Amino acid sequence: MSVGTSAWQFTILRLPVRLAQPWALAFLAAIVLVALLWGLMLRGRARALRVAAPERLLARMAPKAGSTRDLAGGTTALLGLVLLALAAAQPQCGTQTRLAHRYGMDVVLAIDASRSMLARDVEPSRIERAKLALSDLIDHLPGDRVGIVAFAGDAFVQCPLTTDGAAAKLFLRAIDPNALPQQGTAIAEALQTADTLFAGGSPGGAGKAIVLITDGEDHEGGIGKEADKLAKEGVRIFAVGIGSRAGEPIPLVDKNGRVTGYLKDRQGQTVMSRLNEDVLREITSKTKGKYVVSEAGDLGVGEIDEELGRMKKAEYKTRQPVDYVDRYQAFAWPGFLLLLLGFAAGEGRLQRRRA
């Protein structure tokens, strides 16, 4: 069981359960103390009656003394208090979804995950700096649907369009150039894959945008044609060129992240990765987007965030999961009923004594 600052979480039969107000369980200690005092009181009264009169005479004088009515009534009331204490702890379990109204647009983040992004002309590396910048951008898109495309020699959907920013950031952090089997840089395929995420259409005619972070070293071609297609669909491309124009060697690292050498070509020459701005300027110009040159310590994503803020947004509906469902009613109502029954039993006995 893991105890948080304000809630306790555990599992029962593989079902996640949470107590939202665990402090209320302190009432259980008070109930236990009351039960002990009540038990001692009953025991003391029974002992006093046995001392005061013989057992046969006691049965005639106080036929109700020592009966189970007091025990049953008191136990019922105490059990009701226990259930009410559990209800006050606000037990929650199970999940449900609710329909939420959001106001936003569709944004696909396309991140270059080729080995050239391991170059360290941007600290700590091109790929890590790009992931940090995009993670910060996601935090500034709370009402938008965000998708992620990773690409190297080919492209694939890392995360479909979602309003769950935390999930998108989780998928973003999982991108690793060393885990991609086919190396290279296929920007055109990345744009095509991003376009498939827009296939369902943006809500209410809202804007559609692709944020592309790459060093611009395209190895496949066909970028201009794909940019023309996206421009006709109203998709705007915002590109961030990451890396240096002079070029940077691509490090080879071991499992501990230590540099063991640098990537070389077939002739044994060190491969230098250079920023290719021309292709990025071309595709952003065709789609009425914007090209941003990254600088040391700043990728310029803030400028893109401002541009996205000016694009058309629309209201749309989405189903959001609710992590936990309140179940306190299952304890509150039986507890209240048992408490009433316990008091009723005691009240009825008092009325018969007075009669």
For the domain that residue 263 is a member of, what is the CATH number?
3.40.50.410
Same domain assignment for residues 279 and 254:
yes
- Between the alpha carbon of residue 1 and those of residues 16, 26, 180, 276, 326, the distances in Å are 11, 18, 37, 53, 19
Same domain assignment for residues 120 and 210:
yes
Rg of the chain over all Cα atoms, to the nearest angstrom: 34
Same domain assignment for residues 118 and 227:
yes
Lowest mean pLDDT among 7-11, 143-147, 191-195, 249-253: 249-253
Same domain assignment for residues 145 and 236:
yes
Domain span at residue 126? 99-319
Quote the CA–CA distance of 246 and 262 in Å, as a whole number.
17
Same domain assignment for residues 73 and 117:
no
Same domain assignment for residues 282 and 330:
no
Q: Are 270 and 263 in contact (CB under 8 A)?
A: yes
Same domain assignment for residues 131 and 256:
yes
Number of domains in the chain: 2
Query: Residue range 88-108: average pLDDT?
Result: 78
Whether 24 shows a pLDDT value over 70: the answer reads yes
Quote the CA–CA distance of 345 and 339 in Å, as a whole number.
10
Same domain assignment for residues 52 and 201:
no
Against a cut of 0.75, is the pTM above it?
A: no
Q: Which residues of 226-239 are buried (b: 16+ CB within 10 A; e: fewer)?
A: bbeebbeeebbbbb
Q: Which residue has the higher pLDDT, 8 or 231?
A: 231
Same domain assignment for residues 89 and 23:
yes
Query: Residue range 263-287: average pLDDT?
Result: 79
Quote the CA–CA distance of 106 and 301 in Å, as a whole number.
17
pLDDT tens, position by position, 148-198: 999 988 899 999 998 889 999 999 999 988 777 677 678 999 999 999 998
Strand duo 91-93 + 15-19: pairing: antiparallel
Quote the CA–CA distance of 219 and 187 in Å, as a whole number.
8
Quote the CA–CA distance of 96 and 320 in Å, as a whole number.
8
Q: Percent of the chain scored above 90 by pLDDT?
A: 26
Confidence at 2, pLDDT banded by 50, 70, 90: very low
Same domain assignment for residues 121 and 61:
no
Residue carrying the six token digits 């379990």: 93
Same domain assignment for residues 166 and 299:
yes
Please say whether the dihedral angle defined by the alpha carbons of residues 155, 160, 162 and 165, taken in this order, is positive or negative. Answer: negative
Same domain assignment for residues 104 and 244:
yes
Tokens of 213: 């972070």
